[in-house]
Structure 1
Amino acid sequence: MLTREALLNRDAADPLRSFRDRFDLPDGMVYLDGNSLGALPKDTAARLADVVAREWGQDLITSWNKNGWYELPLTLGNKLGRLIGAAEGQVAIADSTSINLFKVLAAAIALRPGRKVIISDSGNFPTDLYMAQGLTTFLGGVDLLVVDETEVAQSLNENVAAVFLTEVNYRSGRKHDMAALTQKIHEVGALAIWDLAHSAGAFPVHLDAAGADFAVGCGYKYLNGGPGAPAFLYIAKRHQHQAMPILSGWMGHAAPFLFDLDYRPADGMRRALAGTPAILSMRALEVGIDLMLEADLSALAAKSTALTEVFMRLVEQECPGVFGNVTPADPARRGSQVCLTHAQGYAIVQALIARKVIPDFRAPDILRFGFAPLYVGFADLWDAVAHLKAIMDSGEWKESRFAARGSVT
């Protein structure tokens, strides 16, 4: 039987425990929503103040050269590459996940002329599907096939140009086997695109080792880059020369300050850029990435597995038979989140938030708990489940105030 004392002992022995003090977490709050918005690193405010006062305020436009602004999308991309298993020169920081998916999906389709199908699964994040729908409508002659997440491999054939999948299902926590699926995709001559929004920073990713062709992801979840932080994209070195950008902006030009009237793509990952980079947001994201790079990634993976396992055991122990659980029991098949189900899930989540336990809700009935290994502790899990048990035992969630729906759930 799990006890709070035993979990406090696990916290004391946790090799990542010191990282908790590097985040500005509100007193008395149990924050289990880092898979939606990461916590604020304590160094971020001072770093941004310096960027505003010195780099922008004093150095002004000279900062593009003097302070590395021009190269930042690529230098920061190389740092991030170390967290997602990508050798240098394959990652750029730019735009949003949606825009970057549009870029790489268009490039993949162009690299497989004559193939008329792209595949995704029904567990993919909706924005990915929406962007693919828009692209196929624009292009014409290319169809989007959405299949169940367990049927991707069986749906492959030689008419498929590309397959794009989110590694960790945002509503269940189910994790695809990236290496195995990428191999199967390649066996039919198609290209593999991975969305790492719920992976990067939660556990190590191995893009190069898996043979991935393209990848995208966001900076505001486990990477702790702040709300609306810039996203990233990965293009395997072997594709970079042939991957023509569908969004041919000036920052992707071979020589943007020659101001040619005709577009010529830059070499390497620079061609994946479009507009002027958002420097303030990138500097904030850099703090989160630098902090993550200080951690032992094997310890990060082990703690992610342990946190999710302990939370599931606690729910079974303290709230037996109350909730469903759609998250896989096999640690190799789950990300760093646990997704419980209950018909009144929205109201229960609101009741938890009122008690300063912060998960989130995903329609139609999912209570989603995310575990950021750098700042979530094992005793936090006990406290969260204790509040959950109290809410269910008392019927507190039935209060009318918890039924009111906000714009963001």
Structure 2
Amino acid sequence: MIRPGFYGWKIVIASLFCYSTSVGQFTVFALSIFLIPLQAEFGWQRGDILEATFYLTLTQALMNPVMGRLIDLYGVRKVLIPTMLIYGLLLGAIPFTISDYKHIYFIFAMMGVVGAGSAAIPYLRVAGAWFFRNRGLAFGVTISGGALGYAYTPILVQYMIDHHGWRSGYYALSTLVLFAALPLAYLMLRNKPADLNLFPDGDLKSQISENSDPENTLNLHWTDLVKMKVFYQLFVIFLFMTFCLYGLMTNLVPMLNDRGMTSSMAVSVAAALATSMLFSRIAVGYLLDRYFAPKVAMVCVTFAIFGIALLASGVTGMGAFVAAIFIGISIGAEFDILAYLITRYFGLQNFGMVYGILFSSFLIGVSIGPKAFGEAFDAQGSYYLILIASCIILAITVLMLWRLPKYENVIKSNDKSILK
């Protein structure tokens, strides 16, 4: 049963907007919109510019487990608020601090450090604490903030670039973080229902018994994780997905520009992809509460394979929109499914630590995917071969999802026999 008036849903909506301003949207994705203006002004190669995503994701990957553990120990607010403040200031510093592409590397690396504390982990940790029966839907709505950011970021940035130059685009993004997302997070987010004398899902009394909820009993150390087969399975699965999907997404606008589509039309295709992500995240979240998550993921990845195959065939116009929608369905499902599987396989008590470690697979994929796509274009003058390779990698991913175990075969109350 969903209780619309429950304060947890207000937190979810606030988290949705705040997450839309995080590093994935305002740095990695936005860089694809800034790519051509930066090339025009400074004469840098695409691969050199996109290498900035490597340094951001490297530092974020290193800091994610640390920030996740700090969130588990001290709560979301004490980590989120200061890191969001620093992140917003760094965004605003980009326009007047770069004269060489290596300067972008440094700023992006710093944003990776603070981005670990102001990206997905804190918002999902809060949503997980406020919901149990409707956790999949809560995760879906929360994480759809990323899709919301992907939808409005290209439109906002392209408008600012067209009318005021590329520097104004970064000033606009910084303003949104500092004067919209940061105050909202400070005023609305609470670590857990007990802070307001409430229970998860808005129940009048807690319906999650200490004995029946494995999340209240399983306590893992990172040394336990490295003994669990499912940990490695999830790491590789989401590494493959992120490499292919985010490598493509970062290069989508210039790819379509190269095929003769105008910048405004190419940005519209990117916005269609983001809109598809938005609806996918909510729909997938709803389905996760009702069906086995790996099967839901298999369907979503299959959509991506068809979409990438369409792009490999050289489509433009309406075909590009269809491909973007198919790919958006898969990208929209990634974070939702990962967060949900972590709570079911490893428990909410360990969420920050486990998500911080497994999210590193996403960040590794994001760090090498865009650069691999960019260098493939620089070397061949085309994205064709990297698109075909992505289809093959995602087909392997579908098979790996099919091999994931049932939840009950992995997580049992402090049963160390699961560590094999």
- TM-score band by shorter chain is under 0.3
Query: Which protein has the bigger strand share?
Result: 1
Relative contact order higher in (CA < 8 Å, ≥ 6 apart): 2
Question: Which is higher, the Rg of structure 1 or of structure 2?
Answer: 1
The structure in which a higher percent of residues are helix is: 2
